[in-house]
Structure 1
């Protein structure tokens, strides 16, 4: 495995805080990363707002379909929404990879947030003017998901441009915690806003969040990546230069994964698991309405439990001992148990507690494996890799959403919980088998260890 290109030499602190000292004082190092690195903090807050908005929209519209808009076939209607919301991450992966590799990252992030804000504002105006047709809600979900498909991998790729190497894992933890914060926002606001202000109020709130994120990102300057200079002790990446030292042609996504077999097997394991884990977003509104006989407040409680669990897992994942494959296999097994219990015991506290445990597992797995990928994947391949990672992991989302949505119109919601749990067991076993394989040694700034 070739080591990624090393970071550039230390620079003085800039006015926008994008680059700090290589060895900050102990007092400064004790501050959270988002406070001592203002540029990363602003971009991270922008991601919190965008993902909170898209999640709030998904939760709110899903509840609107189940509780207000659709008389029969609520499961399929909700499943179609989730499928539409996850399709862009898969279909646009090659386009996203090229855009992230060729266009300034700040421009990509700002444009994605701005376009999403315009789409949400247009939907809000339509909903306020009269009855909202279902195709319009689906089209808006597709547009917001397409913007997020550009935003998320671009931010992941940008992490080394915003933080020093020793802060990459902390930055990864903050970045992945965004999804859990977004889940909390969607849980506490999405269904409740629909109950009180309808889809118009929901879309207006989303538009406000997107526009605020675009303004935050506009004020941030990213650190430009610089090539290794001769004699500075850094090792050029063989994928970034040719034999004569010139820039190499971009590598295809297939070749990137083809040369990373260990990483590819891990991605396949989690892709199979996601076929069943993503169904929880279809199951929650169905379980709330048919089993718990609850309303928007119950959906909020359940989504909040999942989000809090993921948040805690994102911030504690780096402290969980063990090799990533062992930790991942154990987390998938624990998640299977957590998802099975609501299928056996129909009670609101049981479902909420089990979702919190499942969310914690998701958070831990995300931190451990994305941090691992940040170090294993060569720097020049990261734009393409993180785009294809999002596509590979999301490939089963539309399929899982449609299958579980269709099944939800014919099977009890408790049975769906048991099916989810059973589907995670083979994925956990496959990941556990990878522990015996030799993994590539992580790369450091100065070369392979």
Structure 2
């Protein structure tokens, strides 16, 4: 064997697999654009367009932005299962680009009312709700089986990088060019992603992309995965308190730090950088996934409460960095676990319903914390976040102990449990 294949094997996956590299770049562009518009619009509502109910206005916007992933989960699952994944990915990116560019043109002409920002957020969220589970499902079509772990790490780290870039640029672009600027930049990113994905060949195209007989319903898929179903319920409960940071951070910046969009950008950057670091290091931590997850939730509870106890920019930055790291670790450990435990034919339905279940609490979180933000101080909201996560961490630890004792770390059709060291 020559040294060339060995050297190629040592290259990062995005370099030695051009197809995956282009789709990865498209993912980075779409998710960064989605995050940029979301963060930028929230800061626009809190810092510029909002009136006496800034908390409620921003909470309603975030709630609207999460509705498609929940309401359309069955339709998304059928779409991903029945159509070529490249077509679905490119189509979703193109539609989002068209919406964002149209919004930028109307805003530039001064004919885009404030309420239209909610409609644009809803449309972009709908496109992203189709894009994300389709991308996760298509990973086996882009890489060899031995590279699935690496591809999963790249996919999750991309979400972190996208969150970092979008969170950093969103408030800054709004400060410089209002909603017109952020919509225009997002539109260009979406359309470039559509071009990249549309020009990509999926080399392992097979059963995962196109019509497949005897697909099980969402209810049947989850009924056959009781352990994973309970894990998803725990994370849905955790999301009520963790995703509230997207309402609390802008309010904290305005009420406690008395600062501008650059401070919101710095907090978003800390969150994104922490998540990226967690995605890179999460697979190396010892322990079973649920044990690691429960410890991370406990650490996150303390981190989110920190700015409520010690008000200041440094405490807020540390809080976001640590919380982001925990999110990254949890994501990489559990998505890799799901990739192994969920049967291949059930993955389109499962990843759609996973996004729907986890997203279902985001509207509740946004509305509740947005409403509370008009009546409670931002420091009190930080304490509420930390206190709410503590019992969820305990419940997840208890679930993991029971599952390990019962040998539930395995696929329903597998003859034996997956060793703890491999289920990561």
CA contact (8 A) 2:141 2:206 kept: no
Residue 283 (structure 1) aligned with residue 251 (structure 2): no
| 1:222-233 correspondence runs (5 A) | 222-226=202-206
Q: Is residue 288–residue 294 contact of structure 1 (8 Å, CA) maintained in 2?
A: yes
Aligned partners of 2:54 and 2:374 also within 8 Å: yes
> 1:119 maps to which residue?
99
> Is the counterpart of residue 434 in structure 1 residue 399 in structure 2?
yes
1:43 aligns with 2:23: yes
Q: What stretches of structure 2 of length at least 5 have no aligned partner?
A: 419-424
- Which secondary structure state, in structure 2, belongs to the residue aligned with residue 25 of structure 1? helix
1:333 to 275, 298, 320: 298
> What aligned pairs does 1:7-86 form with structure 2 within 5 A after superposition?
25-86=5-66
RMSD: 2.1
Contact 1:375-1:444 within 8 A present in 2 as well: no
Structure 2 equivalent of residue 4 of structure 1: none
Structure 1 residues 352-392: Cα deviation after superposition (integer angstroms, max 9, x where no partner): 11100000000000000000000000000000000000001
The equivalent residue for 2:282 is: 317
- 1:255 matched to 2:255: no
Higher helix proportion, which one?
Answer: 2
What are the superposed Cα offsets for residues 38-90 of structure 1, whole Å, 9 maximum, x if unpaired?
A: 11111011011001001000111100001110121000000001001111100
SS of equivalent to 1:395: helix
1:182 deviation in Å?
1.6
Residues 108/365 of structure 1: CA separation in 2 closer, same or farther (3 Å cut)? same
TM-score (norm 1): 0.88
Q: Quick check: 337-346 or 248-257, which moved more?
A: 248-257
Tell me how far apart the structure 2 counterparts of residues 126 and 415 of structure 1 sit (CA, whole Å).
39
Per-residue deviation, residues 205-241 of structure 1 (Å, max 9, x unmatched): 00010000000001111135557xxxxxxxxx9xxxx
Hey, what does 1:378 align to over in structure 2? 343
Structure 1: segments with no counterpart, 5+ residues: 1-22, 228-236, 238-246
Residues in 1 aligned to 2:316 and 2:280: alpha-carbon distance in whole angstroms: 23
C-alpha displacement of 1:28: 1.3
**Deviation, structure 1 residue 440:** 3.3
CA contact (8 A) 1:372 1:442 kept: no
3-state secondary structure, aligned to 1:411:
coil
Structure 2 Cα separation of the partners of residues 248 and 182 of structure 1:
36
Matches of 2:313 and 2:83, distance apart in 1:
47
Counterpart for residue 262 of structure 2 = 297
Specify the alignment match of 2:421 in structure 1.
Answer: none
**2:192 matched to which residue of 1?**
212
Cα 1:313–1:444 change in 2 (3 A) is farther
Query: Which residue is equivalent to 2:128?
Result: 148
Distance 1:310 1:24 in 2: 34
**Residue in structure 2 matched with residue 396 of structure 1 by the alignment:** 361
**1:343 CA displacement:** 0.5
User: Which range is displaced more, 124-133 or 106-115?
Assistant: 124-133
Deviation for aligned residue 1:99? 0.3
Superposed, 1:184-223 pairs within 5 Å as: 184-223=164-203
Q: Distance in 2 between matches of 1:398 and 1:265?
A: 21
- Tell me the secondary structure at the aligned position of residue 97 of structure 2: helix
- Residue in structure 2 matched with residue 272 of structure 1 by the alignment: 237
| Contact 1:101 1:384 (8 Å CA) reproduced | yes
Q: How many residues align?
A: 411
Instruction: Supply the distance in 2 between the matched residues of 1:125 and 1:447 (Cα, whole angstroms).
Output: 58
Aligned-pair CA distance for 1:161 = 0.6
